[in-house]
Amino acid sequence: MVDSQFKNKNVLITGGSRGIGLAITKLLLKSGANVVFTATNQNSLAKAESDINEAGLPKALGLILDSNELKTGDSLFEQASALLANQTFDILINNAGIGANHSLAEIELGEIQRIFQVNLTAPILLSQAFAKQYHRKSDNEFGSIINISSIASRYDDATNLVYGISKSGINKLTKNLAKNLGKSGIRVNAILPGIIETDMTREKYSNPAVYQALIERLPLSRRGTGQDIANLVRFLASDEASYITGQLIAVEGGWLLQ
């Protein structure tokens, strides 16, 4: 059943074809938004479109985006706007990202550059383009940028060095944009997911011993889901969060309470 909470709101979400991104895409469609999502290839896009259709949700419009190749955010917003009869966007969700599991001794320059390009540079460029195209309709209305960061930005591990730094950059980006775009009617917040059940984490935690160790560490004794993140995205993008900006909110079942 579709409600009208986000009726007439246009959303662009990167990496919206699977995992956390697909959960966000589906919930915002269910909430009445017009959603354009990006996928890295045609197969991912088609699979997401099929999943959305099977769920009985309104159609989401998909675009192919390789964040590693992104040089400017303007072209993506132009393509996305064309899909919505040249309308502008009210909400940007910078969700696309890549994981990394390299120690200082192992990681090479090309991989460092790829991680920073996808996880940090692309969100900067897309936020820049979003702010340029956003037009506030009234003093009581706000645009919203929501960045998907990670709890890896909050703790140190031998194998999360570059990934953690890239997500720490997202946290700093969130604070800076919130301060500088507020007068233009744009709120900016970030969500820091913990261990969420996705394609990227499923293999690691398929090992019963590894999974049990995780459950014993977590005060809430369960792994998170994409729906847990999507629920917070919907709140932060809504009018109910109209006085919230510049916040970094961890959704991690108590992982950081150590």
| Candidate list 134, 155, 163, 243, residue with the active-site label | 163
Give the list of residues 6+ apart from residue 12 with CB closer than 8 angstroms, or none: 35, 36, 37, 38, 76, 77, 80, 89, 91, 92, 93, 126, 130
Query: Is 163 among the residues known to form the active site?
Result: yes
Cβ atoms 10, 65 nearer than 8 A? no
Alpha helices in the chain (DSSP H): 19-30, 42-54, 74-83, 109-116, 122-133, 161-181, 199-202, 208-217, 226-237
Distance CA 167, CA 160 (A): 10
Compute the CA torsion angle 197, 3, 51, 198 (nearest 10 deg).
-10
Sheet holding 61-64, edge to edge: 61-64, 34-39, 10-13, 91-94, 143-148, 186-193, 248-251
Distance CA 44, CA 144 (A): 26
Distance CA 77, CA 25 (A): 17
Which strand (E) or helix (H) includes residue 251?
strand 248-251
Report, as residue numbers or ranges, the catalytic residues: 163
